Amino acid sequence: MEILFTKDPHWILKWDEYVTTEDRASHLMLSDWNKSFESYGFEFEICIVLQNDTIIGGFTAVLAKAFFLKFYIVPFGPIVSQGFEVDLNQIIKSVYSRAVSKKCFYAQINIPFSDKLHPHLMPNTINSPFLESASRGHLFKYVYSSNGLNWKSFETIENENQLLESVKTSLRRDIRSSIRKGLVSKELITYAEIKNGYDLCLKNAKQNNYNLRDWNSFKQTIVSLIDKKSAKFIAAYKDDELKGALFLVKSGNYYTYIFGGTKKEKPDLLVGHFLQFEAMQAVINEKLSGYNISLGGSKGVVQLKNNYADDQLIFENSKYHWVINSFYFKMFLYFEKRLNVHKKFLSKFLSIIKRK
């Protein structure tokens, strides 16, 4: 087994191909996704684990820094492909070692462990003794880490009719009604189309009081993922007017719903149902294993998502951290407490501090 830390374009390409098709991977491991943190002055690197020149696991790490404070954050993973579980402990150890070598005072990981036997999860029976040196949970909240998958399986769904039959009667009725209302779907490809769709999603986020990154900090990621066919931005139009859009990213042999937005109008065009149906048809067309409609959101959004999902695949005992330098960590807690917490920490704190 060889462990390689790299940002070489050759290996990044191979890594992204691995993340796209490896069942246990996540969009949080894609290079383009992690490049988005560069707008905050952060860096990222990829750890590739090789066996006979074949990738069998690894992780992507974000090096979050401000002043002399440096964090080593693994949003998802480390992971290993099925059959290489014996190597996981050594890879976890490499996270800690790399954080120390990078002079970070804190490191954290998020391994998709679960009691459930599922191809997109890792069994928590994997022997990982180095985790005994870590503490449970995450203390750095400003780089998103997934808590699980809101999963709809497509193993037995091969066409539109089977898809409709797989959902509840009420959803089937809403989907068919949305189609009869004259909605037309279109993939947003050009820069202008993508920005127009994102502007609608931003407006929707503000109206519903949830956070969505500003266009300038996220545009490169969105455009690059679409150009590489690693993502789809699907829009709904009626009479050539944009009514809604949703953004999907492909990884792990499935699509993940990232964000979306619709215009609220009367009569209700049921745009949300129309777009989710279009998203699921993309899964069928590409013969992927499933759709992660994602966890979280407002009460109404969570209910809608859960109505479409077959199962919530929650990660169990997945989040761990190491405080490498307690003095610097206490300084971080001091700054965090006195500055705005949560998402505002990034936008305000990091914009004030000179990036290294």
DSSP 1-49: -EEEEE--HHHHHHHHHHHHH-TT--GGG-HHHHHGGGGGT-EEEEEEE
Whether 258 shows a pLDDT value over 50: the answer reads: yes
| Average pLDDT of the chain to the nearest whole number | 92
Return d(Cα 251, Cα 145) in angstroms, integer.
15
pLDDT score recorded for residue 345: 47
pLDDT score recorded for residue 339: 60
Of 162, 110, 156, 169, the C-alpha closest to 134 is 110
Digit-coded pLDDT (tens) for 313-342:
999 999 999 999 999 999 888 877 766 544
Q: Which domains does the chain have, with CATH numbers?
A: 2-147+316-352 (3.40.630.30), 156-288 (3.40.630.30)
By CB atoms closer than 10 A (0-12, 13-18, 19+), residue 98 is buried
Return d(Cα 316, Cα 333) in angstroms, integer.
26
Contact 75, 109 (CB under 8 A): no
Return d(Cα 150, Cα 315) in angstroms, integer.
11
Average pLDDT over residues 90-105: 97
Whether 356 shows a pLDDT value over 80: the answer reads: no
pTM, full prediction = 0.92
Encoded tokens for 244: 């809604």
Average pLDDT over residues 165-186: 94
